[in-house]
């Protein structure tokens, strides 16, 4: 299908997927940075303001929902979709799940590893820059 001025919809789709992927990678890196700060806060007995953890909830909810959406588009029956759905519910800021600080730290470490694995796998499978015209 072609749009006005002979622009191919397939090319537009490739460009949008590339931009979508890059923005998600930035969000994942920001999420990883916030998780590291939360883990270090516990490890060094610091007291980050409560607002930091509320912001972490927002970032993680958006990040895990976005990853879940991408997984759903690629493979709707994936077990990873369930994992990121659970993470979205766990971190949601609307009906917060209250846990002890040590439990959250353990969860943060596990999620940090999951995000790093996802980021590396996704980066290896993404199209090369020469595949997507800009």
Is pTM beyond 0.85? Reply is: no
| pLDDT, greater one: 87 or 12 | 87
The pLDDT of residue 108 is 94
Extract the tokens encoding 82. Answer: 């369930």
Residue 65 covered by a domain: yes
Residue 2 covered by a domain: no
Residue 133 covered by a domain: no
* Rounded Cα gap, residues 39 and 62, in angstroms: 20
Specify the number of domains making up the chain: 1
Residue 108 covered by a domain: yes
- The sign of the CA dihedral 92, 97, 100, 103 is negative
pLDDT tens digits, one per residue of 76-132: 888 889 999 999 999 999 999 999 989 999 999 999 999 999 888 877 776 665 554
pLDDT tens digits, one per residue of 36-66: 999 998 888 888 898 999 999 999 999 999 9
The pLDDT of residue 19 is 53
Domain that holds residue 105: 7-127
Residue 39 covered by a domain: yes
Residue 132 covered by a domain: no
pLDDT tens digits, one per residue of 16-44: 566 555 788 889 989 999 999 999 988 88
The pLDDT of residue 12 is 65
Q: How many beta carbons lie within 10 A of that of residue 108, not counting itself?
A: 20
Q: What is the DSSP letter of 131?
A: G
DSSP annotation string for 21-89: HHHHHHHHHHHHHHHHHHHHHHHTT----HHHHHHHHHHHHHHHHHHHHHHHHH-TT-HHHHHHHHHHH
């Amino acid at each position: 299908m072609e749009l006005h001025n002979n622009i191919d919809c397939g090319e537009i789709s490739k460009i949008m997927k590339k931009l979508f992927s890059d923005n998600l990678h930035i969000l994942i890196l920001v999420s990883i940075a916030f998780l590291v700060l939360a883990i270090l806060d516990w490890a060094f007995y610091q007291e980050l303001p409560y607002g930091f953890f509320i912001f972490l909830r927002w970032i993680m909810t958006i990040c895990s929902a976005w990853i879940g959406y991408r997984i759903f588009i690629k493979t709707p029956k994936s077990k990873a979709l369930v994992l990121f759905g659970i993470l979205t519910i766990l971190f949601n800021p609307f009906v917060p799940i209250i846990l002890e600080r040590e439990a959250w730290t353990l969860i943060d470490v596990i999620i940090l590893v999951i995000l790093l694995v996802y980021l590396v796998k996704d980066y290896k499978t993404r199209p090369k820059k020469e595949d997507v015209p800009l």
